[in-house]
Amino acid sequence: MIKIDQEKCIGCGACVDDCFTRDLVIEEDKAKVLNQTCIKCGHCIAICPVNAVSITDYDMSEVKAYNAVDFDIEPEKLLNFIKFRRSVRQFTEKPIEKEKLEAIIEAGRFTPTGGNRQPVSFVVVQNELSELTRLALESLNNQGQAYLADKEKTPPLIAYYAKRWLQMYEDYLKNPEKPTDLFFNAKTVMIVVSESPIDGGLAASSMELMTHAQKLGMYYSGFFVRAAANSQELRRFLGIAEDNKHVIACLVMGYPEVSYKRTVPRKKPSVSWR
């Protein structure tokens, strides 16, 4: 619940004005919490000029006071950072340090979610990557066979991928230790799970930025997302018990063995100004 230190509170009303759920009021020149519609978003904590607000359910030691040196990013540099990122599929043998993985998860954890529900969880696979590969390739192989069995209804691009999945599985069976086109030679796979595609996708995007900020490389595996959506065995392996939760994104990462020299062009944006 929200707590307001009445000795610190100066009754300025900043928290009341910024409360989207209207769960704060001013009474007798002090802020008061109704605790009826609060979603614990923390806006009252962030805006209070005297640091009088806290949430008992959270670790308040995580709260950091704003300062421009540590918080601000030049817009041009941020845009260049986004433009320069590449999907990396060539990795070195160097393992990713745990503190870097934890920072990537932190980026996902602090990404906004609808109604502050925070319905996003993460699965990090390193030691059991071979089993994850097997389950995913089995699922893709089954899907590929189904698509190719009904060629009249299968679009050409899907048919191409279906044939590729079958080949990937065949190559895997011949040599399970050899890198596949699913995870290549990556040593870490980070999976974003959520009941909300939007919340999970936003978290994954923040995590991608943090990955590249730490000089790591990664790519999103759409193949794996498809595999997980069609395999109960794979879901059980990941610990996804609830039917309403799904693999939203799969971040395959490692230290890049390739370096890029420049950005790439894109199509002009389709924008409607009204």
Tens digits of per-residue pLDDT, 211-233?
Answer: 999 999 999 999 999 999 999 99
User: 18, 37, 62 — which closes off a domain?
Assistant: 62
Res. 152: pLDDT tops 90: no
In a domain, 69, yes or no: no
Three-state secondary structure call for residue 121: strand
In a domain, 67, yes or no: no
Same domain, 21 and 99: no
Q: How many domains does the chain have?
A: 2
Question: CA of 82: how far to CAs of 87, 105, 178, in Å?
Answer: 12, 19, 32
Q: Give me the percent of the chain exceeding a pLDDT of 70.
A: 100
Identify the pLDDT of residue 243: 92
Task: Using the CB atoms, write b or e for 38-64: b if 16+ within 10 Å.
Answer: bebbebbbeebeeebbbbeeeeeeeee
Res. 155: pLDDT tops 90: yes
Identify the pLDDT of residue 42: 97
Segments forming the whole domain that contains residue 184? 74-274
Report the distance separating Cα 32 and Cα 44, nearest Å.
11
Same domain, 137 and 56: no
CATH number of the structural domain spanning residue 257: 3.40.109.10
Res. 22: pLDDT tops 90: yes
Same domain, 206 and 80: yes
Identify the pLDDT of residue 92: 97
Question: CA of 59: how far to CAs of 24, 30, 42, 246, in Å?
Answer: 21, 24, 12, 28
Identify the pLDDT of residue 151: 83
Token readout for 207 is: 């995590």
Same domain, 245 and 146: yes
pLDDT digits over 232-252, tens only? 999 999 999 899 999 999 999
Same domain, 25 and 116: no
pLDDT digits over 35-67, tens only? 999 999 999 999 999 999 999 999 999 999 999
Q: Kindly give the residue spans of alpha helices, DSSP state H, lying in 19-124.
A: 43-47, 68-71, 75-84, 98-109
User: 33, 62, 91 — which closes off a domain?
Assistant: 62
Report the distance separating Cα 1 and Cα 24, nearest Å.
12
Report the distance separating Cα 204 and Cα 47, nearest Å.
27
Same domain, 32 and 167: no
